[in-house]
Structure 1
Amino acid sequence: DLTDLPQVECIYEDMIDFELELAVIVARNASGDMKTYPVVEMEFHPEANQVEYVICPARIDDAVSEKARAIALEVSAAYDHVGLLAVEMFLTKNGDILVNEVAPRPHNSGHYSIEGSVTDQFEQHVRCVLDLPLGNTDSTVAAVMVNLVGEEGHTGNVIYDGIEDILAMPGVTPHIYGKKQTRPFRKMGHVTVVDKDVAVAREIAAQVKDRIKVVANS
């Protein structure tokens, strides 16, 4: 593994034997008031290494959820930020929670909140930066977000093949980002699936993934 490394300073890290990837969004206004959104679970595409599904609530024990939200608040306080902070974490197979990365902005892991939360992440971000009281972060329903990315082998003017099919499905809402050109694995939009049962929402999300394809107009 060392043979082809460039001759510059490098960081060596051990591989983490993790069970799940989790994320918590923290909202913090200029007065220092903080709230966390529920813990979400992220499933990644095995080749593109980008989020494929975001599941809320995460399918974890309450104790793990409370621990993850507490860690996210500690990270937020350390940065002393204003706005939203997405804190991504590894849940290891022995039950430890390790912070993987942070993103100081509205984030993929919070897109579900448009349909699934009392206060969506975009409104909450505005409340934060204007130093207004923070909105309720509770979920109103279970939600799963499906990332829409360009299909492999397709570059050019975009077509959302199958969007009519998913619009006919109950609890399904597509969000198209308005990008005119697609390319393999480019983020082009997302779809939110809501249901009272998170397992049902996850099943429908898989159907959505199968039915809609982001392709180029050949």
Structure 2
Amino acid sequence: MSKWICLLLFLFIPLFTFPSQEEWHYLIKWMGIIVGTLDIKEKEESPCLCLEGNLRTLGIYYLLYPVKDKIQSKIDPKTGKILSLEVNLREKGYRRKEKREFMEGAEFVDPLTLFYLLRFIKEGEREFRVYTHGEIKRIKIIVEKEEELKIYEDKFATRKLIPELDFQKFHGIVKKIRKVEMWVEKESGIPLKIEAKTSFGPVTVVLKNRKKWAKK
């Protein structure tokens, strides 16, 4: 693990206060049409924090390009290190199934953990080592600017984030992405909207239900 990642995780230790049963439910739109969903759930299973993400296409779009991905990770809430990771990816002709445990915690983050850590990136840029599709990739997250974002007739103060990575080195549907822009709510850091330019047209991921932000 790089010295920067070690320092980053150390700084995050006092901030790892994951709300119990926090959930995020997103709609995935292609050319403005709802084609899929992304659901991310978090729960406490002492002494671990558990994250689960489900990505899938819907209806006729499942027939055209079937996607049914599931990722589960268990994290040490005191250090932020991954203790176990279970992956089941089904994207058209691509398949990957994997289950791993890390006795002393992994020296990288997984996509779900990175999704959560976005809320702590306040300014400048941060680089992460992310484990995905059996490989470790370097991803840089840049805070471009603060701007107002309108969703569901409501306006939000946000930070606009730009991830820098070589999408062509990835597998599955991610390989078709050309550029990504993300907006996170300024105070909570919760991702509100993600826009991706892909080889098959623009894709937008937008938070479906803001009520799910609160603790249960």
- Give the TM-score of the pair, scaled to structure 2: 0.28
Between structures 1 and 2, the one with greater helix share: 1
Between structures 1 and 2, the one with greater strand share: 2
